[in-house]
């Protein structure tokens, strides 16, 4: 797979060696992260909202309701809504001997462009199924599909993955040579998203079995 | 403590019953979340970047380098840089019988306003210590303090917590009455941030003890 083309806007001003443009890295981060943060301008002021997303090939779908801010704004934007979608996974806390070398292990993606409102009914159904499957793989086929009323109340934005970059920081602390003998612990505390014991709904029929995608739930 | 004053911009267009304005809720979310997403406008386009933050009273400090985008932009903004800072904690996956009632348990904060560049040396030192302590409590006193060169390369933005809201969704799925008998598992998969076994730096002197804030690390 060809990499994304680096542009001025997707070139970090700092730590350029952490930038990645290969699709495998970008797709992996987008697919693993449960939520994204969507930035857009509304009435001259920027807004950043968390939402659910899903990737199908080179399209990133963003979930919303027809009454939500981005959806109301895109309705008045014939060329689509300019957005910046950012996804961040934190993999660890990096403790260095020096306060200023503290850092995180992380993987992030920034995708920019004009998002369009999905109006084609088939694409909308596909996108919403992808969002549900992004939350729990296989779940869209194991739940009641949307009806017409629900579809009308739900909106989906689509952003073509064109101007996209990832940033990845791995590994332990990088301390100055003069600091190595200081008596401070240094290293990494790994962080993962842990799925606990599933909690059935109060009104769940106890004869309904626990699916493996619930009992074995994991993000990575 | 008085609550934050609700404004048009901090009133959600959807799920208003999930909005919270009390300081205890807002502070708790800001303090627990390891990272935030900062939205700002650069050259007419919005940008959303993840960064580290820390709260001291009613000021939210944002960490950056002097060469990073927001810091370069604020330098040319005498009234401060208009930002939207959003913090999101995901507490669980909510599986409903119907695809469209799938959701997340989450707690988020949105803070808007003009962020100023911190120029007072004492405030900058306090803010940077707070960021380090936000990453690992007590760590700023247990690491080598910043020197003049490091301080010059680091920039801090300060946002007064004035126009702020939280949004909290808890509890299990809310299905339509007609869907309750459908044969699909429904409930919540709780998600937590799990700290794994600390990994010492390759060059760590083995006689340096493991501090309790590392061995007992947790975010919640």
User: Which pLDDT band, with edges at 50, 70 and 90, does A45 fall under?
Assistant: confident
Of A108, A179, A183, the CB nearest to B208: A183
How distant, in Å, are the alpha carbons of A16, A136, B27, B183, B205 from that of B172?
A: 43, 16, 25, 17, 48
Q: Mind telling me how many Å the CA of B146 is from chain A's nearest CA?
A: 6
User: How much is the pLDDT for B16?
Assistant: 83
Cα separation, B52 vs A26, in Å, equals 22
Shortest CA distance to B125 belongs to which of B100, B107, B150?
A: B150
Contact list, B180 vs chain A (CB under 8 Å): 203
In this predicted structure, the answer to whether residue A144 has a pLDDT above a threshold of 80 is yes
In this predicted structure, the answer to whether residue B25 has a pLDDT above a threshold of 80 is yes
What value does the CA radius of gyration of chain B take, rounded to a whole number of Å?
20
How distant, in Å, are the alpha carbons of A23, A104, B46, B159 from that of A165?
A: 9, 18, 15, 28
Which secondary-structure segment (H or E) carries B148?
helix B148-153
User: How much is the pLDDT for A44?
Assistant: 80
Which residue of chain B comes nearest to A149, CA vs CA? B100
Out of B70-84, B90-104, B136-150, B171-185, least confident range: B70-84
Residue from B9, B73, B100, B141 to probe the interface with A (highest A Cβ count within 10 Å) = B100
User: How much is the pLDDT for A157?
Assistant: 96
User: How much is the pLDDT for A220?
Assistant: 82
Cα separation, A102 vs B142, in Å, equals 12
10 Å Cβ neighbour count for A218?
11
User: Region A179-197: what's the mean pLDDT?
Assistant: 97
Contact list, A45 vs chain B (CB under 8 Å): 9, 82, 84, 112
Which residue of chain A comes nearest to B45, CA vs CA? A82
- Tens-place pLDDT, residues A111-126: 999 999 999 999 999 9
- Which tops the pLDDT comparison, B111 or A70? B111
User: How much is the pLDDT for A17?
Assistant: 86
User: How much is the pLDDT for A13?
Assistant: 77
- Tens-place pLDDT, residues B183-216: 999 999 999 999 999 999 999 999 999 999 999 9
Cα dihedral across residues A34, B159, B79, A13: positive or negative: negative
Q: What are the residue boundaries of the structural domains of chain A, listed by start?
A: 16-90+104-169
CATH code given to domain B8-89+105-170: 2.30.110.10
In this predicted structure, the answer to whether residue B67 has a pLDDT above a threshold of 80 is no
Q: In the predicted model, what is the mean pLDDT of chain A?
A: 94
Q: Mind telling me how many Å the CA of B168 is from chain A's nearest CA?
A: 12
In this predicted structure, the answer to whether residue A21 has a pLDDT above a threshold of 80 is yes
Cα separation, A130 vs A138, in Å, equals 9
User: How much is the pLDDT for B65?
Assistant: 73
Contact list, B35 vs chain A (CB under 8 Å): 88, 90, 104, 106
User: Which pLDDT band, with edges at 50, 70 and 90, does A7 fall under?
Assistant: very high
Contact list, A190 vs chain B (CB under 8 Å): 195-199
User: How much is the pLDDT for B61?
Assistant: 98
Contact list, B142 vs chain A (CB under 8 Å): 184
- Contact: B198, A187; criterion CB under 8 Å: yes
In this predicted structure, the answer to whether residue B119 has a pLDDT above a threshold of 80 is yes
In this predicted structure, the answer to whether residue B128 has a pLDDT above a threshold of 90 is yes
- Tens-place pLDDT, residues A151-163: 999 999 999 999 9
Q: Mind telling me how many Å the CA of B217 is from chain A's nearest CA?
A: 8
User: How much is the pLDDT for A74?
Assistant: 76
Contact list, A145 vs chain B (CB under 8 Å): 99
Which residue of chain B comes nearest to A195, CA vs CA? B191
User: How much is the pLDDT for B12?
Assistant: 81
User: How much is the pLDDT for A75?
Assistant: 72
User: How much is the pLDDT for A16?
Assistant: 83
β-bridge partners, B89: B107
In this predicted structure, the answer to whether residue B13 has a pLDDT above a threshold of 80 is no
Shortest CA distance to A22 belongs to which of A36, A47, A3, A40?
A: A3
- B63-100 as b/e, with b when 16 or more CB fall inside 10 Å? bbbeebbbbebbeeeeebbbbbbbbbbbbbbbbbbbbb
- Contact: A99, B144; criterion CB under 8 Å: yes
Cβ–Cβ < 8 Å for B143, B80: no
User: How much is the pLDDT for B15?
Assistant: 79
User: How much is the pLDDT for A103?
Assistant: 96
Cβ–Cβ < 8 Å for B11, B112: no
User: Region B98-102: what's the mean pLDDT?
Assistant: 97
- Contact: A67, B39; criterion CB under 8 Å: no
User: How much is the pLDDT for B161?
Assistant: 98
Give CATH superfamily name and number for A16-90+104-169.
Answer: Electron Transport, Fmn-binding Protein; Chain A (2.30.110.10)
User: How much is the pLDDT for A95?
Assistant: 98
Cα separation, B35 vs A91, in Å, equals 12
Q: ipTM for the complex?
A: 0.95
């Amino acid at each position: 797979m060809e990499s994304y083309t680096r542009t001025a806007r997707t070139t970090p001003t700092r730590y350029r060696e952490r930038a990645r443009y290969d699709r495998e890295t970008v797709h992996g981060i987008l697919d693993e992260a449960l939520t994204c943060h969507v930035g857009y301008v509304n009435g001259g002021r920027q807004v950043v909202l968390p939402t659910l997303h899903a990737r199908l090939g080179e399209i990133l779908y963003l979930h919303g309701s027809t009454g939500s801010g981005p959806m109301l704004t895109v309705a008045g934007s014939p060329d689509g809504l300019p957005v910046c979608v950012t996804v961040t996974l934190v993999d660890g806390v990096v403790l260095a001997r020096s306060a200023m070398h503290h850092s995180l292990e992380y993987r992030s993606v920034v995708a920019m462009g004009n998002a369009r409102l999905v109006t084609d009914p088939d694409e909308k159904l596909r996108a919403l199924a992808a969002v549900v499957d992004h939350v729990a793989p296989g779940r869209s086929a194991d739940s009641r599909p949307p009806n017409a009323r629900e579809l009308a109340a739900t909106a989906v934005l689509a952003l073509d993955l064109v101007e996209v970059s990832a940033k990845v920081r791995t590994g332990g602390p990088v301390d100055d040579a003069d600091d190595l003998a200081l008596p401070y612990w240094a290293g990494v505390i790994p962080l993962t998203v842990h799925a606990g014991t599933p909690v059935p709904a109060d009104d769940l029929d106890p004869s309904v079995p626990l699916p493996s995608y619930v009992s074995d739930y994991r993000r990575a």
